[in-house]
Amino acid sequence: METTTFEGFDYKISPKELVMDVEHITLHDDGSSVTGDVYGAEIEFNEEMKKAEKNIMDILKECE
């Protein structure tokens, strides 16, 4: 399959299943809620970035 003829993947997981609550993003360094450190403030996103991120999530919600 070449990019010139690519018609898209028929995924099992819809893009809308990847939508996140971006108002309260937290980052797990270790991943475990038991042993991991969780950082919320560390992820630097300014207001412009947050707005664009919300737009992305809103578009994903409308995906099949």
Least distance in Å: CB of 60 to another protein?
6
Residue 18 binds another protein, judged by CB under 8 A: yes
The count of residues in the chain is: 64
Q: How far is Cα 53 from Cα 27, in angstroms, rounded to an integer? A: 16
- Tell me the backbone φ, ψ of residue 39, rounded to 5 degrees: -120, 125
Asked if 41 interacts with another protein (CB under 8 A), we say no
Alpha-carbon span 30 to 42, nearest angstrom = 15
Is 61 one of the binding residues for another protein (CB under 8 A)? no
Residues that bind another protein (CB under 8 A): 1-4, 6-15, 17-36, 42-46, 48-49, 51-53, 55-56, 59-60, 62-64
